Amino acid sequence: MALRKIVTLPDPVLRKKARPINKFDKDLQTLIDDMVDTMREAPGVGLAAPQVGISERLIVVEYGEDTEDENGEIIEGPKRLFAMINPEIVKTSTETELGVEGCLSIPGLVGEVERFSTIQVKGLNRRGQPMKVKAEGWLARIFQHEIDHINGVVFPDRATKVWKPEPEEEEEIV
């Protein structure tokens, strides 16, 4: 497994609608593993193939909800890793939430983006088998952000406000 270079704007691959994947070979498995390693090293919670310069419909997401114990201590929740090929949002809630997002391909900027609170995503797993994910809250936000990438959309396109965060603010942004 190897780390891949994360491309940044204005690289044109970030603005293209990525092509579907229909070949589940060794190269795809290597790409998935490399993307997971690259996402973790960055560090990030999601990564789309266009972000590593490959215009294909593949995303990886890794996220776990933190909880608070009775003393107010934060307990890190178990993380779930998803690798999804040809993902598409098939169901959304009517409710939306405003949240602050950043992006590995747009370093130094964050923005307020309105996203659906709950979504259902379908796609294929790394072996080409159908999979469905119901996501809410931050996990739903991450999936929507990454699916935007494979459609050539970056968060500033959807943001109501974009700014350069203060150093203490950067630690709080997903």
Residues labelled as active-site residues = 146
Calpha distance 98→168 (Å, rounded): 20
Give which of 90, 82, 42, 33 is closest to 59, Cα–Cα. Answer: 82
Backbone angles phi, psi at 140, to 5 degrees: -60, -40
Using DSSP's 3-state secondary structure scheme, residue 165 falls into coil
Backbone angles phi, psi at 155, to 5 degrees: -55, -35
Q: What would the 3-class secondary structure string for 146-158 be?
A: HHHHHCCCCHHHH
